[in-house]
Copies of this chain bind each other. A is one copy, B any other.
Amino acid sequence: MSSAHLSIGDLSRATGTKVETIRFYEKNGLLPEPSRTQGNYRAYEPAHLSRLSFIRRARDLGFSLDQVRALLTLSDDRSQSCAAVDVIARAHRDEVERKIKDLQSLKTVLDQVIESCHCNIVADCAIIESLAPAPQGS
């Protein structure tokens, strides 16, 4: 009987997670429902804190909630092969890599567009012009 229970506010402060977000994780099956006090307050065990920290760390690394759920399930079954973990991590890294490339080519275009503007009024603005389609008015 460990009696050092934590309130939702304690978890919030300990992990930098908003209280509403913690309840959201519970409702969405990432964090198991804790026991309750007489006044119906959530009373967490240290294990909950560990799990929430895990979730936050994975979220910080950009894993989706679905991916976090999968990682949690895998980490719960510690005898399982590590390969599935690797697959999730690599898929996520590839996704991040793709996003970086996309944003880099986007930035190149934005740089060009911004660079091209030497005008004073919107009528001559190269930025606006680059957004407007060539007037193929027939």
Contacts and interface: CB of A to CB of B under 8 A. Distances in A.
Tell me what chain A mostly uses at the interface: helix, strand, loop, or mixed. Answer: helix
Contacts of A113: 61, 89
Interface in A111-132: 111, 113-114, 117, 119-125, 127-128, 130-132
B127 A82 contact: yes
Given A46-B135, A53-B132, A132-B50, A127 B79 contact: no
B54 A132 contact: yes
A22 interface: no
23 contacts: A46-B135, A50-B135, A53-B132, A53-B135, A57-B133, A61-B110, A61-B113, A71-B128, A74-B128, A75-B132, A79-B121, A80-B121, A80-B122, A81-B121, A82-B127, A82-B128, A85-B127, A86-B114, A89-B110, A89-B114, A90-B114, A93-B114, A100-B107
A52 to B, nearest CB: 9
Interface residues of A, number: 55
Contact of A93 (B62, B89, B110): B110
Interface of A: 14, 46, 49-50, 53-54, 57-58, 61-62, 71, 74-75, 77-82, 85-86, 89-90, 92-93, 96-97, 99-100, 103-104, 106-107, 109-111, 113-114, 117, 119-125, 127-128, 130-133, 135, 137-138
